[in-house]
C-alpha cells in the first residue's frame, strides 16, 4: 500500500527508509478533529458491511485526509459498527503518521533498476555494452544527477536469437526494472513494445531504426537515434542528384529490412524515381542463398544497388558480390549506415575487407564535433581497442537521457512501485511466472518525462518532436577510397544534400537544387570518376522484339524487302546507327506489323508495348500526347508538323500588271498627297525662295514638278525655310516607303505562282466546306476533328501519294479534294517529284518522330543520347540526304499569289505626313499674322471699301510680298517714325525757351 507525500511524491509502506514509529490513537483522533473525512458510510440497516473490507479501501492523502478509494456505500452505517471503524482507524494510525511525516519531502530509493538486451557478440553489441557501462558509471559518480540514487544496469545477452531476445525481455519484466534499453533488433522491438505497452515500461532503443515503430501502436517505445525514414530520404536525394531513375534494393527480409525499403520506395516516388527490383535475403541465409539472390540481380537492368542489412551480414553480401564480379565498374553500391558502422568499429580494416568496399557510398549519422565528444573519444581508447561508432555515442546518451528523466520523475514525487496485471490472473506457466509480471505504476509519468527532456549530449541536441523523433536528423555522405574513407558531403532534413555542415546551413531557406556543389567528386567502383549510367542491357541473351510498321506508301522512311524480310529506310538506318553507339551490345530483331495492304495504325502499334507484344517500336512514329501515355519516346530524330497542300498554276503577265501592286484607293490617296505636299511646300517657300515665285503659270508648273519629282528624289528646287525642309524630309521618307513597297509587290506579281483554289492556309481551309484529304491511320484525322473542329464528313482518307495527286487535280467539284493535310516529312517527299502542287500557309503543329520504349525504360535515355551524337557528328544529316533528298522540285521556292497593297497598310504613314503638313501651315500663318499686325497696325485706306475688305486685301497683299520687301519697308517706316519724333522734341524745347524769356521780370 502506498500514499502520496508532499508535491505528489508516492511513498511505499514497508520501504527500508521509512520511520518505524507509530502514532497513538489519540493523535489520530486529533487529526480527525481538524480534517474533513470524506468517508462514505454504509446504511444503518446494511448487513453486508465488513470492517476488514472497508479498511482495505482506505488511504491517506498528502493532507492526512481519509478517503474511500473505490467502493461507495449508499446505506446508513449500523451504530454498533462505529466502534469497529474507530478501532480500524487506530490500527492504521501508524500509516497515517508515516504519511504526515513525509509531507516535508519524499524519500528517493537508493537504487533504480534498468535493463538492457543486446547481442554481446555482434559488432554493435560489443561496443554498445561498453558504452552503456561507461554511462552508468558516469551517472552514478555525478552528484548533480539523481541526488544520490544509483542506477543499476542488468545486461542480458540475446545471442543472435529472436526467441531468446523475447524470453530475456519477459524475464526483465519480472524484475523491478523501470525501463528497458534495447532491444538491438527492430524485429524484437515490435514484440517487446507490445509487452512494454501492457506493463507500462518505457523501451528506449538506439539501434531499432524501423520507421513503423513510431506508430501509435507502440506508445512506450522511444527511439533514441534517428529513424531509417531520414536515412532513406538521404539515399533518395543522392539518387535524384545523380539523375538515376531506377534502383535495385537488396535487404534482409525481416521487419527491419522490409519497412526500411518501403520507406525508400516512398521517398523515391516523391522524387520521380522508383525501386525497379527488390532482392530480399532471408535472415539466416547462407552464402549460397545470398549468391542465388545476387545472380538474379546481376541479370537485371539496373546497376544502382541499395543495400539495407545488418553490420554482421553486410560483409557476406559483399564477399559474394565480389565473387560474381559485381563490384567492378558500371555498378553503383549505396549502403545504409551498417557499412560505416563496420568501418568505425573494426578500424583498421583488413586489406581484403577494404577491397570489398571500394567505390561504395554509405551514410553515417552526423554528430557535432564538440569538446565533450572529443573527451569521450579520448577516454574510449582507454576502455577498448574497438573503434568508436556513433552507436556508442547514442548508447551513452540514452543512459543520460533516462537518468535525467528519472531525476525529473522523482522530483515530481514519482513512485517506484509495481502492481499486478489483472489480465494475467489465472495464467499458469512453468517457464514464466506470469504472476510476477507487474505493471510499473509510474511508467506513463516516466515516459512523459523522457519525451520532455531537452539537453545536450555527445551526439548533439537531445530533444523529441511530437512524433517521438529526435530533432535535427543529419548524416555524413561517405565514399570508400583506397584504405580509408572520404566525406563527400552532408545531408540534413532541413537542407538536403550539401557540402556545408548541417549546423551552418540556413534552415529557413532549404536548398534542394541540383547544383554540382551538393556533393564532391566520387570515386566509383572500378576506380573511375565518371558517373556510371546506372543501367545496362541485361546479359541474359534475350533479344528485343521490335515492332516495325509495314507501310505501303512513302517506303523511303520505312520499307520492307519482300525477298529476305529485311527492313530498310530512313528510320531503320537511324535506329541501327544509334544502336551501334550504345556502350553495350543490344540484341534485337525486327518484326513486321501490318497487312501490307493499308498503312497500319502507329497508335495501336505503340499500345502493343504495354501489352508485352513488343519491347520497342521503330518507324515513323509521331510523338503525340496520347502516345506518351502509352510509352516513353527517345529524342526526336526528325522534326515535322502538319501542312496544307494545294494545286498551283504559273501566273501570266498582263498589259496593266504595273498597276496591280496598289489598290485604287491607294493610288488615289498617293496622288492627292503628292499634290498636297507640293502645295504646302510652295506656301512655305514662296515668300523666301525665288524659285517658288513668278507668274501664276510658272508657279503651278513648279508645284507639280516638285511634287512628282520627289518620287525619284530628283527635284531641283532647294528649300530655304525650316518648316519647308521639315515637310520635305518627312515626305521623302514616305516616298521611300511607298517606292520600296511598290517595287517589292510588282516583283512578286510578275514572278508569282497562282493557286488553283481559294485555299491559302489552314484558316481558309477550316472556313470552307470543301473535302480535305489526309493519310489514313495517322493522328491527322483525330487532330482535324478534335482540335480544329472539322466535320468528319469532309475528310477523305488516302494511302498512296498517287491518290493525293489525282484527288488534288480533280478538285472538290470533280470528286477530288480542295487540299491535303499531312506531315511535312511526307509532303516534302511527295512534292520532290510533283511540281504542280505546293504547301500554303504555315506549319500549324510542331511534332517529331521518335522510337518508342516501355515506360521508364533506360533504353529511351541511352538511345536519345546516341541520336544526339548522330546529329552532332553529321551522320543524321547524311542518312537524311541518302533517303529523302530529291532535286526535281524540292529546291524550287514556293511562292503564291500576292494580294494588292491596300490603303490600310499605309494609313499611319499618311496620317503622320498630313499632321506634319498641317502643323507647319499653322505655324507659318501664325508667324505671318504676327508680322502683319506688327508692320501694318493702322494702314487702312480710307476709301469706299469697307474696313474688313480693306484690311483683308492688305493682308493678302502682305502675304504675297517677298520677305525682303517686307523687311525693307519695316526698316524705312521705323526710320521715318524716329525722325518725326526727334523734330517734334526740338520744337517743344524751343517753345519752352521763348516762353521763359517772355515771362522774365526784367522784361
Burial 687-726 (b: 16+ CB within 10 A, else e): bebeebbeeeeeeeebbeebbeebbeeebebebbbebbeb
C-alpha–C-alpha distance, residues 428 and 474, integer Å: 48
Whose cell is 583498421? That residue is: 348
Question: Residue 281's pLDDT is what?
Answer: 95
pLDDT, one tens digit per residue, over 442-499 is: 999 999 999 999 999 999 999 999 889 999 999 999 999 988 899 999 999 888 999 9
Is the confidence at residue 507, as pLDDT, over 60?
A: no
Residue 291 has pLDDT above 50, yes or no: yes
Task: Please measure the distance between the N-terminal and C-terminal CA atoms of the chain and give it in whole angstroms.
Answer: 159
718 or 663, higher pLDDT? 663
Instruction: Please tell me the predicted confidence (pLDDT) of residue 761.
Output: 86
User: Rounded to the nearest 5 degrees, what angle is found at the Cα of 736, between the Cα atoms of 732 and 739?
Assistant: 130
Q: For position 349, what pLDDT does the model report? A: 84
In this prediction, residue 648 carries a pLDDT of: 79
Helix (H) or strand (E) holding 593: strand 588-593
pLDDT band at 579 (very low <50, low <70, confident <90, very high): very high
Mean pLDDT of 952-980: 60
Q: For position 514, what pLDDT does the model report?
A: 43
Query: Average of pLDDT values for 694-717?
Result: 70
Encode pLDDT of 854-879 as tens digits: 988 888 988 999 999 999 999 999 99
**pLDDT tier at 996, thresholds 50, 70, 90:** very low
**Is the pLDDT at 374 greater than 80, yes or no?**
yes
d(C-alpha 224, C-alpha 236), whole Å: 23
Kindly state the average pLDDT of the residues 756-764: 79
C-alpha separations of 490 from 18, 366, 475, 739, 788 in Å: 56, 8, 6, 71, 54
Contact 228/838 with Cβ under 8 angstroms? no
Q: What is the pLDDT of residue 105?
A: 44
Residues 195-228, buried b or exposed e (16+ Cβ, 10 A)?
bbbebbbbbbbbbbbbbbbbeeebebbbbbbbbb
pLDDT at 419: 84
Going by pLDDT thresholds of 50, 70 and 90, the confidence category of residue 5 is very low
Q: What is the pLDDT of residue 275?
A: 94
Q: Mean pLDDT score of the chain, rounded to an integer?
A: 78
User: In the predicted model, what is the mean pLDDT of residues 908-920?
Assistant: 82
Confidence of residue 596 (pLDDT cuts 50, 70, 90): confident
Quick: pLDDT tens for 197-208: 888 999 999 999
Q: Check residue 56 and give its pLDDT.
A: 38
Split at pLDDT 50, 70, 90, the class of 758 is confident
Cα–Cα dist 621/548, whole Å: 10
Q: Are 7 and 413 in contact (CB under 8 A)?
A: yes
pLDDT at 506 over 80: no
DSSP 116-158: EEE-TTSHHHHHHHHHHHHHHHHHHT-TTSGGGPEEEEEEEE-
pLDDT level of residue 752 (50, 70, 90 thresholds):
low
322-326, 581-585, 609-613, 659-663: least confident range:
659-663
Higher confidence at residue 419 or residue 983?
Answer: 419
Looking at residue 930, its pLDDT comes to 72
Write the pLDDT tens digit of every residue in 603-633: 999 999 988 899 999 999 999 989 999 999 9
pLDDT value, residue 563: 60
The yes-or-no verdict on residue 175 having pLDDT over 50 is yes
Instruction: pLDDT band for 976, please (50, 70, 90 cuts).
Output: low
- In angstroms, rounded to a whole number, what is the distance separating the alpha carbons of residues 572 and 618? 7
Query: What pTM was estimated for this model as a whole?
Result: 0.62
The C-alpha cell that represents 508 in the structure block: 529557413
On the question of pLDDT at 83 being above 70, the answer is no
pLDDT tens digits for range 876-889: 999 998 888 765 56
Across residues 524-548, what is the average pLDDT? 83
- Cα distance between residue 174 and residue 843, in whole Å: 84
Residue 146 pLDDT greater than 60, yes or no? yes
Would the pLDDT of 542 be above 70?
yes
**pLDDT mean over 824-840:** 87
Using one digit for the tens of pLDDT, what is the confidence trace for 321-373? 999 999 988 899 999 999 999 999 987 888 889 999 999 999 999 998 889 99
Q: Give the pLDDT confidence score for residue 346 in this predicted structure.
A: 85
Task: Note the pLDDT of residue 259.
Answer: 94
Question: Backbone phi, then psi, for 963, in 5-degree steps?
Answer: -60, -35
pLDDT tens profile 790-809: 999 999 999 899 999 999 99
> Is pLDDT of 533 > 80?
yes
Predicted local confidence at residue 564, as pLDDT? 61
Highest mean pLDDT (candidates 16-25, 595-604, 676-685, 959-968): 595-604
Give the per-residue pLDDT at 981: 54
Q: Hey, CA dihedral for 508, 514, 516, 522, is it positive or negative? A: positive
Residue-level pLDDT at 301: 83
Question: Residue 185: pLDDT band by 50, 70, 90 thresholds?
Answer: confident
Q: What is the pLDDT of residue 152?
A: 92
Distance (Å, whole) CA 799 – CA 793: 18
Cβ atoms of 195 and 156 closer than 8 Å? no
Q: Is the pLDDT of residue 426 over 70?
A: no
Q: pLDDT > 70: what percent of the chain?
A: 73
**pLDDT-based confidence at 516, cuts 50/70/90?**
low
Give 397-410 pLDDT, tens digit per residue.
999 999 999 999 99
Residue 421 pLDDT exceeds 70: yes
DSSP state of 425: T
Weakest-pLDDT range from 37-51, 309-323, 561-575, 605-619: 37-51
Query: Is it the case that residue 770 has pLDDT exceeding 80?
Result: yes
Is residue 69 pLDDT above 90, yes or no?
Answer: no
pLDDT of 151 reads 93
Q: How far apart are CA 933 and CA 946, in angstroms?
A: 18
Q: pLDDT band at 899, cuts 50/70/90?
A: low
**Distance from C-alpha of 347 to C-alpha of 388, rounded to nearest angstrom:** 9
Amino acid at each position: 500500500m502506498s500514499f502520496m507525500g508532499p508535491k505528489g511524491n508516492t511513498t511505499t509502506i514497508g520501504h527500508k527508509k521509512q520511520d518505524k514509529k507509530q502514532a497513538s490513537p489519540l493523535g489520530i483522533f486529533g487529526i480527525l478533529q481538524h480534517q474533513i473525512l470524506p468517508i462514505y458510510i454504509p446504511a444503518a440497516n446494511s448487513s453486508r458491511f465488513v470492517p476488514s473490507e472497508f479498511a482495505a479501501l482506505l488511504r491517506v492523502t498528502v493532507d492526512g485526509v481519509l478517503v474511500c478509494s473505490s467502493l461507495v456505500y449508499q446505506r446508513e452505517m449500523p451504530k454498533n459498527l462505529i466502534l469497529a471503524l474507530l478501532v480500524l482507524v487506530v490500527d492504521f494510525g501508524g500509516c497515517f503518521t508515516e504519511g504526515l511525516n513525509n509531507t516535508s519531502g519524499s524519500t528517493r530509493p537508493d537504487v533504480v533498476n534498468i535493463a538492457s538486451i543486446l547481442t554481446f557478440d555482434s559488432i554493435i553489441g560489443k561496443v554498445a555494452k561498453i558504452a552503456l557501462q561507461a554511462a552508468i558509471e558516469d551517472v552514478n559518480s555525478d552528484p548533480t544527477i539523481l541526488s544520490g540514487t544509483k542506477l543499476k544496469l542488468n545486461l542480458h545477452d540475446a545471442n543472435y536469437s529472436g526467441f531468446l531476445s523475447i524470453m530475456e525481455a519477459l524475464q526483465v519484466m519480472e524484475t523491478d526494472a523501470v525501463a528497458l534499453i534495447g532491444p538491438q533488433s527492430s524485429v524484437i522491438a515490435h514484440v517487446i513494445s507490445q509487452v512494454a505497452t501492457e506493463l507500462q515500461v518505457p523501451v528506449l532503443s538506439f539501434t531499432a531504426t524501423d520507421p513503423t515503430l513510431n506508430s501509435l501502436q507502440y506508445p512506450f517505445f522511444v527511439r533514441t537515434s534517428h529513424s531509417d525514414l531520414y536515412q532513406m530520404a538521404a539515399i533518395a536525394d543522392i539518387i535524384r542528384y545523380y539523375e538515376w531513375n531506377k534502383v535495385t534494393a537488396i535487404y534482409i527480409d525481416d521487419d527491419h529490412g522490409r519497412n526500411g525499403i518501403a520507406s525508400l520506395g516512398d521517398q523515391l516516388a516523391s522524387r520521380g524515381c522508383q525501386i525497379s527490383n527488390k532482392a530480399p535475403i532471408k535472415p539466416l541465409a547462407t552464402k549460397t542463398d545470398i549468391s542465388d539472390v545476387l545472380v538474379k540481380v546481376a541479370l537485371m537492368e539496373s546497376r544502382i544497388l541499395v543495400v539495407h542489412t545488418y553490420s554482421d551480414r553486410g560483409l557476406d553480401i559483399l564477399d559474394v558480390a565480389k565473387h560474381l564480379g559485381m563490384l567492378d565498374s558500371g555498378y553503383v553500391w549505396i549502403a545504409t549506415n551498417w557499412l560505416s558502422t563496420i568501418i568505425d568499429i573494426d578500424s583498421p580494416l583488413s586489406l581484403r575487407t577494404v577491397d570489398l568496399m571500394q567505390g561504395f557510398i554509405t551514410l553515417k549519422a552526423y554528430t557535432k564535433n564538440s569538446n565533450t565528444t572529443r573527451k569521450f573519444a579520448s577516454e574510449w581508447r582507454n576502455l577498448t581497442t574497438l573503434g568508436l561508432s556513433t552507436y556508442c555515442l547514442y548508447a551513452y546518451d540514452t543512459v543520460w537521457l533516462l537518468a535525467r528523466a528519472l531525476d525529473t520523475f522523482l522530483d515530481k514525487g514519482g513512485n517506484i512501485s509495481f502492481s499486478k496485471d489483472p489480465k494475467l490472473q489465472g495464467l499458469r506457466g512453468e517457464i514464466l511466472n506470469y504472476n510476477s509480471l507487474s505493471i510499473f505504476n509510474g511508467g506513463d509519468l516516466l515516459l512523459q518525462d523522457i519525451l520532455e527532456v531537452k539537453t545536450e549530449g555527445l551526439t548533439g541536441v537531445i530533444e523529441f518532436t511530437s512524433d517521438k523523433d529526435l530533432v535535427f536528423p543529419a548524416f555524413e555522405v561517405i565514399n570508400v577510397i583506397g584504405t580509408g574513407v572520404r566525406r563527400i558531403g552532408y545531408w540534413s532534413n532541413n537542407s538536403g544534400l550539401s557540402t556545408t555542415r548541417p549546423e551552418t546551413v540556413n534552415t529557413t531557406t532549404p536548398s534542394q537544387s541540383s547544383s554540382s556543389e551538393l556533393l564532391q567528386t566520387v570515386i566509383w567502383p572500378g576506380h573511375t570518376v565518371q558517373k556510371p549510367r546506372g543501367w545496362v542491357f541485361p546479359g541474359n541473351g534475350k533479344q528485343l522484339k521490335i515492332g516495325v510498321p509495314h507501310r505501303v506508301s512513302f517506303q523511303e522512311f520505312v520499307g520492307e524487302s519482300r525477298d529476305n524480310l529485311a527492313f530498310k529506310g530512313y528510320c531503320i538506318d537511324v535506329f541501327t546507327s544509334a544502336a551501334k553507339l550504345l556502350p553495350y551490345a543490344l540484341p534485337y530483331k525486327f518484326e513486321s506489323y501490318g497487312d501490307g495492304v493499308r498503312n497500319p495504325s502507329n497508335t495501336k502499334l505503340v499500345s502493343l508495348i504495354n501489352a508485352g507484344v513488343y519491347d520497342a517500336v521503330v518507324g515513323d512514329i509521331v510523338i503525340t500526347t496520347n502516345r506518351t501515355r502509352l510509352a516513353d519516346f527517345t529524342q526526336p530524330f526528325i522534326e515535322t508538323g502538319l501542312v496544307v497542300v494545294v494545286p498551283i498554276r504559273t501566273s501570266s503577265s498582263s498589259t496593266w500588271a504595273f498597276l496591280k501592286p496598289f489598290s485604287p484607293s491607294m493610288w488615289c490617296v498617293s496622288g492627292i498627297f503628292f499634290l498636297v505636299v507640293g502645295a504646302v511646300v510652295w506656301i512655305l517657300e514662296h515668300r523666301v525662295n525665288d524659285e517658288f515665285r513668278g507668274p501664276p503659270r510658272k508657279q503651278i508648273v513648279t508645284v507639280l514638278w516638285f511634287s512628282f519629282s520627289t518620287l525619284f528624289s530628283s527635284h531641283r528646287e532647294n528649300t530655304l525655310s525650316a518648316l519647308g525642309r521639315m515637310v520635305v524630309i518627312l515626305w521623302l521618307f514616305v516616298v521611300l516607303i511607298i517606292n520600296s513597297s511598290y517595287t517589292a509587290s510588282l516583283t512578286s506579281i510578275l514572278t508569282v505562282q497562282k493557286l488553283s483554289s481559294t485555299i491559302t492556309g489552314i484558316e481558309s481551309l477550316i472556313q470552307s466546306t470543301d473535302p480535305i484529304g489526309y493519310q489514313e491511320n495517322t493522328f491527322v484525322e483525330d487532330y482535324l476533328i478534335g482540335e480544329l473542329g472539322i466535320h468528319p464528313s469532309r475528310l477523305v482518307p488516302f494511302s498512296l501519294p498517287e491518290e493525293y495527286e489525282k484527288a488534288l487535280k480533280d478538285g472538290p467539284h470533280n470528286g477530288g479534294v480542295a487540299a491535303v493535310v499531312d506531315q511535312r516529312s511526307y509532303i516534302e517527299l511527295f512534292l520532290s517529284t510533283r511540281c504542280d502542287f505546293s504547301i500554303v500557309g504555315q506549319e500549324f503543329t510542331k511534332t517529331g518522330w521518335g522510337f518508342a520504349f516501355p515506360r521508364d525504360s533506360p533504353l529511351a535515355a541511352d538511345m536519345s543520347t546516341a541520336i544526339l551524337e548522330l546529329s552532332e557528328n553529321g551522320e543524321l544529316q547524311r542518312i537524311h540526304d541518302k533517303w529523302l533528298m530529291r532535286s526535281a522540285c524540292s529546291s524550287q521556292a514556293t511562292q503564291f499569289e500576292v494580294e494588292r497593297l491596300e490603303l490600310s497598310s499605309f494609313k499611319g504613314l499618311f496620317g503622320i505626313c498630313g499632321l506634319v503638313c498641317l502643323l507647319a501651315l499653322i505655324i507659318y500663318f501664325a508667324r505671318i499674322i504676327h508680322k502683319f499686325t506688327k508692320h501694318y497696325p493702322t494702314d487702312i485706306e480710307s476709301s469706299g471699301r469697307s474696313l474688313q475688305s480693306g484690311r483683308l486685301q492688305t493682308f493678302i497683299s502682305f502675304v504675297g510680298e517677298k520677305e525682303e520687301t517686307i523687311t525693307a519697308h519695316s526698316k524705312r517706316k521705323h526710320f521715318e517714325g524716329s525722325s518725326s519724333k526727334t523734330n517734334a522734341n526740338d520744337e517743344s524745347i524751343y517753345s519752352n525757351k521763348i516762353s521763359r524769356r517772355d515771362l522774365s521780370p526784367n522784361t
